[in-house]
Amino acid sequence: MAVEPEVVVLTTNEAKNNLMLQVVFKGTDKLSVKFGFNTDTDTAEEVVNEMVRSINHRNISKRRHS
């Protein structure tokens, strides 16, 4: 079964260059990750890496509490 991500813009500044986003992975666990994106200074690679680090950190925390 494929997991469908949904991207939600939580906040943005007036210039619309500094966004707080949330990606919700629809599935059994409803995993979600929040992260910031500055369109002037961040690259897509940096944002994806931040998102992956957040997911990995969350998975490590879940394993510790299991």
Q: What is the pLDDT of residues 4-33, one digit of tens each?
A: 888 999 999 999 999 999 988 877 677 888
Give me the pLDDT at residue 53, please.
Answer: 84
Is the separation of the CB atoms in 51 and 33 below 8 Å? yes
- Read off the tokens for 63: 């394993």
Whether the pTM exceeds 0.85: the reply is no
List C-alpha distances in Å: 51 to 15, 37, 44, 66: 23, 11, 11, 23
User: How far is it between the farthest Cα atoms of the chain?
Assistant: 43
Dist CA 18 CA 35 (whole Å): 11
